[in-house]
Structure formats: C-alpha cells, structure tokens
A = this chain, B = another copy of it.
C-alpha cells in the first residue's frame, strides 16, 4: 500500500522503517523537509536514518498525505491536530487514518498527565476535526520497538483498534497482523479510544517499576 507516516520521531521512524521493509511504499511527512534533512542530531539525525532507508520518501505533510491510501499520525499527541490540519482535510478524506499518539501533557512535570480523557479522547478529537477521514486509534499502548516487532516479547500480547468504520478497522488489523500482532481486539467505535489512551498512566508506572519499556498488555481470556 501507499502509506504516509506523519512524524519523524522515534515512533514515525519505527513504523515507516518496518512498513517499508514489509514492502509498502512509504513517504514520511514533516513540516519542512529541507529543515528535517539538515537538522544535525549526530547518529540520531533524520538524514542518518534516511540513508539507511533509501526507498522511503520525505515530503511535506500535505504531499505525503496526498499520495497515500493510509495515513499514520505518529507525531506527539499535542501536535496531532495541527499536523493533520497541515496535511489537509481534503487529502485525508476517505482515507484510513491511524492515530497512534497519546494526549500526553508534560506541562505539570513528570509523569505526564493526559490533556484529554474519560469523557473525550484524542482519537475522537481527530475524528471530529476530520469527519471524512476514517480514523482508527491503535498502537498507542506499547513502545515504538514493540509496535513493529511484538515478536521480541517472550509471548504474544494484545493490541487494540477503536474506530467508527469497520472497513478501516479491517485495513488497520491487516497491517497490525503484518507487523506481527497476533491478538488485535476491536473495542468498538472511536469513543473506546478513551479506554486505551487512559492506559498510558499505568504504562508509565509500569515503565518505572519494571525499569524497561519492553513490556505489553496481554488480555488473558
């Protein structure tokens, strides 16, 4: 598939790199491609990563979204709505939009809180702002490495999909299975994203208690 991954951070790179490896045509979206290419972060530079992923394109959010069948919003949650606005509602219309971000609020110190929760969610905000996109909330409950390599855990674990469009959830589920996820649970409509986004606080405490981000929730049943 033609897939746009919006965001050049750890999550965006992990997803883009793995989808490329799996044979998809991937374009990463960023605010200013020239600035992204020029930013010097040493071995963590986008340019260094891009050199190892020569098939993956880099474009503006709008250009990346324009050619995509599936758009993955992999920015930090606080930026999601702005980034998607730059991508453009008309270029998102009708497309599967995977929202993998969390509404983390770092303004009160650590651990972060959530800037939306319980009676609303980031997934719903995205769906309301882009009513013609087919939003699926997923992959926000585990770390970037495990999103794309769940098989590195000693046993299978669970991921979730929330969304109003059954076909879009089907597309998302097929992609998740390509990534190696063996237990994809359809929680229901986009309001169920409230549930998975509110797992972040315990994820953060588990990260502290276990001293590692290499864990995931499995729904035993």
Interface residues of A (CB under 8 A from B): 108, 113-114, 117-119, 153-157, 160, 185-188, 192, 194-196, 198-199, 201-206, 208-210, 212, 214-221
Indicate if the CB atoms of B187 and A206 lie closer than 8 Å. Answer: yes
In the complex, A215 Cα to B114 Cα: how many Å? 26
Indicate if the CB atoms of B219 and A206 lie closer than 8 Å. Answer: yes
A187 in contact with B209 given A217-B218, A220-B216, A220-B218 (CB within 8 Å): yes
B residues less than 8 Å from A156 (CB atoms) = 220
Residue of B nearest to A118 (CB): B113
Indicate if the CB atoms of A215 and B206 lie closer than 8 Å. Answer: no
Q: Which of A114, A214, A221 has the most CB of B within 10 A?
A: A221
A-B contact pairs, 16 of them (CB 8 A): A117-B117, A117-B118, A118-B201, A154-B221, A155-B220, A185-B206, A185-B210, A194-B201, A195-B206, A196-B202, A198-B201, A199-B199, A199-B202, A214-B221, A216-B220, A217-B218
A202 in contact with B195 given A117-B117, A220-B153, A221-B153 (CB within 8 Å): yes
In the complex, A217 Cα to B215 Cα: how many Å? 12
Indicate if the CB atoms of A205 and B209 lie closer than 8 Å. Answer: no
B residues less than 8 Å from A208 (CB atoms) = 187-188
B residues less than 8 Å from A210 (CB atoms) = 185, 219, 221
Indicate if the CB atoms of A205 and B221 lie closer than 8 Å. Answer: no
Indicate if the CB atoms of A186 and B199 lie closer than 8 Å. Answer: no
In the complex, A203 Cα to B220 Cα: how many Å? 12
In the complex, A213 Cα to B157 Cα: how many Å? 18
B residues less than 8 Å from A160 (CB atoms) = 202
B residues less than 8 Å from A199 (CB atoms) = 198-199, 202
Indicate if the CB atoms of B188 and A195 lie closer than 8 Å. Answer: no
In the complex, A118 Cα to B199 Cα: how many Å? 11
In the complex, A214 Cα to B194 Cα: how many Å? 21
Q: Which of B114, B209, B219 contacts A118 (CB 8 A)?
A: B114
